[in-house]
């Protein structure tokens, strides 16, 4: 998220020309997903971009006398895509309504503002997006915690794969971190605003794509499936183990395809366990059939912690070492634990 003032938030309230049709409205009401506007109180902006804003807010649960902390997504009335953006905004919400897993961000519901525009209500995630959290020098995640975040993402993606859902944009910026440090896979449209430099448009294409997270077949042929999501997951693991360094820091967006065609891959981060880097390389296999499934990844990444715990007992490695985030998140080796916390033979 990027921070914004409360005044900006009020001014940015959705008043888009896009409105929900009656059939959709009836469906939302029947599933108890449509909340009265007066039951929703908006607080300050916690994220904003060219297309819209995210507010922190409270939702009064009708008939229960309870109040829930929420985040509310809105679309600017000057959104460049107009009707198309509004439709995509609604479709994202309708997809989310069927997700029920602790590692996938669910939809609480929707509301319609005074102008007839759409407001999407989702759980409030105290620590915001995962990328911002791991980049923040004030946070001190351990090796074990970072790997555990990776397990959470794998669990969420396994669920999505089981429901036949293809994410297409899996990255640390699109995962959220709750108060109890549970990672939930999400797909905030606003991430494309906040992290605009992570998206690239080549060959005069209008659509910006997250090329550094994409599999070769997605880049060259526009193919997206669970195996291309697995490739992106490998990149996400690399993000975790570098505390949020932008992937391929020395490769330009336009040169990614050529880089990958040469059989080249990102190097192992300095303090990344060998077992975890091996998993990344499996995710980055040229042949999609040779990439693991998310079910296998849940097992394999969990086994990394088990293996390192055994080494810890043998005094070969510490899982509780704290990662230090260096000032430049664009550096090729942007993070690592304090070296004095490692045993003399290193984090093998």
Closest listed residue to residue 219, CA positions, set 257, 245, 275:
257
Q: Annotation-wise, does 187 bind a ligand? A: yes
193 given a catalytic annotation: no
Q: Annotation-wise, does 314 bind a ligand? A: no
Closest listed residue to residue 15, CA positions, set 79, 64, 104:
79
CA angle 247, 252, 253 (to 5 degrees): 75
Length of the chain: 348
Dist CA 330 CA 328 (whole Å): 5
- The DSSP element (H or E) to which 244 belongs, if any, is none
| 3-class secondary-structure state, position 57 | strand
203, burial (CB in 10 Å: exposed 0-12, middle 13-18, buried 19+): exposed
- CA pseudo-torsion sign 102, 103, 104, 107: positive
Closest listed residue to residue 187, CA positions, set 173, 168, 174:
174
Q: Which one is catalytic: 85, 129, 162, 169?
A: 169
Helix 143-162 / helix 226-241 crossing angle, nearest 10 deg: 170
Binding residues for Mg(2+): 174, 187
- Known binding site: residues? 73, 173-174, 187
Show which residues are catalytic: 169
* Binding positions for ATP: 73, 173
């Amino acid at each position: 998220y990027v921070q914004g003032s409360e005044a900006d938030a009020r001014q940015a309230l959705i008043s888009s020309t896009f409105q929900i049709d009656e059939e959709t409205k009836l469906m939302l009401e029947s599933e108890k997903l449509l909340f009265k506007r007066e039951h929703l109180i908006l607080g300050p902006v916690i994220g904003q971009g060219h297309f819209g804003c995210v507010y922190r807010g409270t939702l009064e649960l009708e008939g229960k006398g309870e109040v829930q902390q929420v985040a509310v997504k809105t679309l600017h009335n000057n959104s460049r895509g107009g009707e198309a953006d509004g439709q995509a905004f609604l479709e994202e919400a309708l997809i989310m309504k069927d997700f029920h897993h602790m590692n996938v961000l669910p939809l609480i519901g929707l509301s319609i503002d005074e102008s007839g525009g759409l407001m999407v209500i989702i759980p409030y995630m105290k620590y915001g997006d995962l990328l911002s959290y791991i980049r923040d020098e004030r946070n001190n995640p351990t090796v074990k915690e970072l790997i555990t975040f990776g397990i959470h993402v794998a669990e969420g993606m396994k669920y999505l794969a089981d429901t036949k859902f293809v994410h297409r944009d899996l990255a640390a910026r699109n995962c959220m971190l709750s108060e109890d440090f549970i990672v939930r896979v999400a797909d905030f449209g606003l991430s494309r605003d906040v992290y605009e430099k992570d998206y690239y448009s080549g060959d005069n294409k209008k659509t910006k794509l997250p090329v550094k997270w994409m599999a070769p077949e997605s880049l060259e042929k526009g193919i997206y499936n669970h195996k291309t999501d697995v490739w992106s997951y490998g990149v996400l693991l690399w993000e975790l183990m570098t505390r949020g360094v932008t992937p391929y820091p020395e490769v330009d967006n336009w040169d990614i395809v050529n880089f990958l065609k040469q059989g080249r891959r990102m190097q192992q981060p300095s303090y990344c366990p060998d077992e975890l880097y091996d998993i990344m390389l499996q995710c980055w296999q040229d042949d999609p059939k040779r990439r693991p499934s998310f079910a296998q990844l849940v097992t394999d990444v969990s086994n990394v912690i088990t293996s390192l715990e055994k080494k810890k007992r043998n005094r070969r490695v510490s899982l509780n070492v704290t990662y230090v985030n260096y000032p430049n998140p664009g550096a090729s080796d942007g993070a690592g634990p304090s070296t004095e916390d490692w045993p003399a033979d290193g984090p093998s």
